[in-house]
Chain A
Amino acid sequence: MKPIKKASEIIEQVKNGSSIMMGGFMVCGHPFTLAEELLKKNVKDLTLISNDAGFPDKGIGKLIVNGQVKHLIASHIGLNPVAGQKMNSGEMKIDLVPQGTLAERIRAKGAGLGGFLTPTGANTEVEKGKKKFEINGKDYILEEPLGADFAFIKATIADKNGNCFIAKSAKNFNLVMAMAADYVVAEAEEIVEAGELDPDKVTVPGVFVSSLVKAEINEKGF
């Protein structure tokens, strides 16, 4: 059985300077309740790992606007102009990572791999500082695993063993992030007894999940 906690109890464990992965793709499948609690507690100097910088007025985007993020690792920040401003002013460090490379680096961490070779970014600025290999005539670069202190993921239904079903295109980064952090919180729209979730419908095996939070905020990105 995984403990069911309040979002506030979870955020008490987060220190200034913690690193957190947050699921979601343009806030679809994003843990809004935990993001709001991070905002309320005003935890600072965070390293956030997310597909994108969201929108300025929603979820992770609000944390960036509020100046709580020291370092953002993402694939795209184009729909949150404040993120770009903070990058240009030097207030926030941003590492832009190709989306597939970001997902695979996180997966590699969770899967116990020391990295992987990808053609993505070879012969571009992305290859700077990375080892390069030619295999069967094609160029590849070595990408290293990426983990974090926490992962906050969003589930549609979680059972009390931590098994999560994530609906439709809300899966996005939530599965790989659940694999790659020391402490993993599944924010679920619905929490059911173990046994009530069809084992065939499990997106994230409960083995990855540390605790559950009931989602109080289920915003839309549009």
Chain B
Amino acid sequence: MDEKELKRIRIAKRIAQEFPDGAIVNLGIGMPTLVADCLPPGKSILLHSENGFIGLGPAPQKGNEDKDIVNAGGKPVSIVQGGCFFDSAMSFSIIRGGHLDYTVLGALEVDEEGNLANYMIPGKMVPGMGGAMDLVAGAKNVVIAMEHTNKNGAPKILKKCSLPLTAKGEVDLIVTELAFIRVTKKGLVLEEIAEDTTVEEVVKNTQAKLTIAGNLRKF
């Protein structure tokens, strides 16, 4: 497994520990999807798929796919026992109405005020926001899963987002391969750092101001 993949799995594992028993969670496409493979045994956590069900299960074996059970990327998946299907208006009532405990999404930029930019780069990437804006506006807890810096090594955790926002002030947690950061009314609090990094390293790679928690832990 290459270094990048190990980083991604570390992020996914840390996020998976956050969910309490019984949580309903929506995982975005990409790195957030890895969280599904890291859910702790013994906890009952149900995944919400915004195209219309709660109880998202793994992809079936080839040949056993059901054309009517797909995930939000259109890929064949399954539904677990105790799951349920519904239509799009109901799915987004669940999301906007605050009935979803967690949403985990990737980010292009996130800032000190909990603002998130993750759906477009003007002139370059304009795929549409899909369900991201509703998820971020409605979920009780918004968790960002991302690499700490972009592919050029520049910080993605900024004083102020420069790209068009997906939502203002909705992010609650930011988890990267280096750090576990909570967004509070007083700004960003560094609560945990990865076992192979230092506070200095995290601060150097973060543009936003970080308050270091008194009981800083390692993960």
- Contact across chains for B68 and A118 when beta carbons are under 8 A apart: no
Interface contact B133-A167, CB-CB below 8 Å = no
A76 touches which of B53, B95, B128, B134 (Cβ 8 Å): B128
Question: What's the minimum C-beta distance from B188 to chain A, rounded to whole angstroms?
Answer: 19
Q: How far is the CB of A113 from chain B (nearest CB, A)?
A: 12
Across the interface, do B75 and A222 meet the contact criterion of CB distance under 8 Å?
Answer: yes
Cβ contact within 8 Å between A120 and B138: yes
Interface size on A, as a range, is: 35 or more
Q: Give A residues with C-beta under 8 Å from B.
A: 25-29, 51-52, 55, 74-79, 84, 87, 96, 98-101, 103-104, 106-107, 118-126, 156, 166-176, 203, 218-222
Task: Kindly list 19 other residue pairs between chains A and B, CB separation below 8 angstroms, not including A76-B129, A118-B137, A168-B52.
Answer: A26-B74, A28-B74, A78-B130, A84-B127, A96-B126, A100-B96, A100-B133, A101-B134, A104-B92, A107-B89, A121-B137, A123-B167, A124-B133, A124-B164, A124-B165, A156-B68, A168-B85, A172-B51, A222-B65
Q: Which residue of A lies closest to B170 (CB)?
A: A119
Smallest beta-carbon distance A148→chain B, Å = 16
Closest to B168 in A: A123
Q: Are B52 and A121 in contact (CB under 8 A)?
A: no
The answer to whether B70 and A173 touch across the interface, beta carbons within 8 angstroms, is: no
Are B67 and A28 in contact, CB atoms less than 8 angstroms apart? yes
- A27–B74 contact, CB under 8 A? yes
Contact between A218 and B67 (Cβ–Cβ < 8 Å)?
yes
Q: In the complex, what residues of B have CB within 8 A of residue A107's CB?
A: 89
Q: How many angstroms from the CA of A79 to the CA of B75 in the assembled complex?
A: 12
User: For the complex, would chain B's binding face be called helix, strand, loop or mixed by DSSP majority?
Assistant: loop
In-complex Cβ contact of B133 among A79, A126, A175 (8 A): A126
Provide the bound-state CA to CA distance between A126 and B168, in Å: 12
Bound together, the chains give a CA A74 to CA B128 distance in angstroms of: 8
CB-CB under 8 A from B134, the residues of chain A are 98-101, 120
Give Cα distance in the complex from A156 to B68, angstroms. Answer: 10
Set of chain B residues within 8 Å of A219, measured between Cβ atoms = 67
A92 to chain B, nearest CB (A): 13
Nearest 6 Cβ contacts at the A-B interface: A26-B74, A100-B92, A78-B127, A100-B134, A123-B168, A168-B68
The reply on B76 being an interface residue by CB < 8 A is yes
Q: Which residues of A contact B73 (CB under 8 A)?
A: 26, 79
Chain A residue at smallest Cβ distance from B51: A25
- B101 to chain A minimum Cβ distance, whole angstroms, is 17
Residues of A within 8 A of B96 (CB): 100, 118-120
